[in-house]
Amino acid sequence: MTLVPRIKVLGFWLAIGSFIGLLSGSASALFLVLLEWATLTRNTNEVIVYFLPVAGLLMGWILHRWGQSVIRGTNLVVDTIWQGGPQIPLRLAPMVMLGTVWTHLFGGSAGREGTAVQMGASIADGVLYALKIPEKYRQELICAGVAGGFGSVFGTPIAGMIFGMEFVVLGRLRYRAFAPCLAAAIVGDWTCHAWGVGHAAYPVLGDLSLEPILMGKWLVFAAAMALATVGFIELTHLIKAHLGRWVQHPALRMFIGGVLVVFLWKVVGTSQYLGLGVPTILSAFEEPGLGAQVFALKLIFTAITLGAGFLGGEVTPLFFIGAALGSVLSGVLGIPVEYGAGVGLAAVFAAASNAPLALSVMAAELLGIHVLPHVMLVCFVAYILTGHRSIYSAQRVGLFKS
């Protein structure tokens, strides 16, 4: 292909990617504002958490009635990229956004990225159909929506871009989607900031030499992260499978999940495991004395919330689990606590979503460049040890881990 048509194609990708970034970044901004409101409202009126079972019942009924696509969530996005199919419904975007805010308002333990990814994908598919863009560009456009959503909701554009290229197929990076993912992620991040919406600031890590003894420690660390990841994935599947067998109606399942979360909440006697849990993540960078039960409890809270069918994502709870576990391990292994927390933060989600490259870059975008070799080593080893498991059951295996 000679220069002029190449410029045209590049221009097309950058323009359409930017447009998708503009929309998905705006959606992320609105979503973050609502989430902030929900978190604040819950924190100042904790009695609201008692209504989680009822909130679940109501949401479950609505989802069952109108939201089959919402229930399939990120798996629907992966399936559509992979095998085509009907348009990802545009109503998915508002439904999953409001559903996630609903989860957080009543204290479910969930994240954000699933929501941002699904909003981005449904917006991108909407753009494709609205502008009558040929079907052959569809996969790349949906990837761009994912990149725009992920990049803007965390303020990490390049991690978003790589996530959009990496998460669909295990062990493969879609270079074909490079241009639209890049444009969507950068414009998405800028758009979110242009709306005046910022992100949690993490500490910037200082330089730390990666010498052989530390490499050995990181291997042990990575094995522990893989174990936590497997524990999370298996527990969530177990809860989903058993609840699904025992309880017919999804609304009832969410009611039971809500009851369990409220029960646990009262038993542990702290609210730190509800919602996103950003304050605990930040404190993991400071105190190695966080307690070994902290990561385990967050794991259980999140597995119940998501296993029961509440909407949301996995990133922030898995950040919590990884950072809390990493913080504790840093004391045991003799690693600087901010490094233990920072590397752990990225490793569990990297392994759970099979996106070691995206999450390593994300850690660097959040914590500074010095973390990069450390986090790459741990993310990759944890990703291998986790095997062919994934929080996205629809994810394809492009390369067998061996």
The verdict on 231 binding a second copy (CB under 8 A) reads: no
Q: 64, 176, 237, 396: which one contacts a second copy (CB under 8 A)?
A: 176
Footprint (CB under 8 A) of a second copy, residues 276-295: none
b/e per residue 319-354 (b: at least 16 CB within 10 A): bbbbbbbbbbbbeebebebbbbbbbbbbbbbbbbbb
CA-to-CA distance for 49 and 177, rounded, in angstroms?
42
208: contact with a second copy by CB under 8 A: no
For the segment 93-132, give every residue that binds a second copy (CB under 8 A): none
The residue among 105, 112, 49 whose CA lies nearest residue 278 is: 112
Binding of a second copy by 401 (CB under 8 A): yes
Closer to a second copy by Cβ: residue 143 or 186: 186
Distance of CA 5 to the CA centre of its chain: 37
- Asked if residue 234 binds a second copy (CB under 8 A), the reply is no
Site string for a second copy, 345-364 (x = CB under 8 A): -----------x---xx--x
Q: Which of 90, 116, 58, 94 minimizes the C-alpha distance to 309?
A: 58
385 sits near a second copy (criterion: CB under 8 A): yes
Interaction of residue 15 with a second copy, rule CB under 8 A: no
89 binds a second copy (CB under 8 A): no
Asked if 40 is part of the footprint of a second copy (rule: CB under 8 A), the reply reads: no
Residue 213 found at the interface with a second copy (CB under 8 A): no
How many angstroms separate the CA atoms of 97 and 76, rounded? 16
175 binds a second copy (CB under 8 A): yes
Spatial distance between the Cα atoms of 214 and 228, rounded to a whole number of angstroms: 21
Pick between residue 336 and residue 373 the one whose CB is nearest to a second copy: 373
Task: Name the nearest CA neighbour of 165 among 400, 402, 401, 398.
Answer: 398
Q: Does 34 bind a second copy (CB under 8 A)?
A: no
Amino acid 322 reads G
Between 256 and 347, CB nearer to a second copy: 347
Q: Is 83 exposed, middle or buried (0-12, 13-18, 19+ CB in 10 A)?
A: exposed
Output the CA–CA distances (angstroms, integers) from residue 239 to 226, 233, 294, in the order listed.
20, 10, 20
In angstroms, the first-to-last Cα distance of the chain is: 38
- 232 vs 380 by CB, closer to a second copy: 380
Judged by CB under 8 A, does residue 3 bind a second copy? yes
Residue 9 CB, nearest distance to a second copy (Å)? 5
Return residues touching a second copy (CB under 8 A): 1-3, 5-7, 9-10, 14, 157-158, 161, 171-173, 175-176, 178-179, 182, 186-187, 189-190, 193-194, 209-212, 215, 219, 356, 360-361, 364-365, 368-369, 372-373, 376-377, 380-381, 384-385, 387, 398-402
